[in-house]
Amino acid sequence: MRLRAHHLCCSRFWEEPAEERGPAFKRARDDIRQALLSRPEAMIVAVEGADELCQACPLCVGGRCASPRGDEDRVRKWDAILLKELGLPAGTCLASGRWRELIERKTPFKLCQRCQWKKVCSVGAILL
């Protein structure tokens, strides 16, 4: 599985309904959660740019995020900040269980303090 850092770090905690982005997006998000929570041996690579969840999102245009809440340039900055907080470079490949341990140890991230999705995040909600 290939995931952006913010999808790796945040998708487990993000509670916003996915239906508005369509069934393919919801399936992809659920698959990511399943891998992170129930398949500790699943290999996941932290990628720069569009990943498997992005490809299922109607806001991904031409392989780039076109969301009004965070375009590709902003999203890449978030990903870089999170990877720095994790102490890992883009391209790192770890088993899902290892990602989960690392993320749990580092959560909440400094980025969580200023995240615009705090209200729909179980981690962000405690920071409000």
Task: Tell me the pLDDT tens digit for each residue of 20-54.
Answer: 889 999 899 989 999 999 999 999 999 999 999 99
CB 2 within 8 A of CB 91: no
pTM for the structure as a whole: 0.90
Residues near 53 by Cβ (< 8 Å), separated by ≥ 6?
3, 4, 7, 11, 25, 28, 29, 32
Q: What pLDDT score does 128 carry?
A: 65
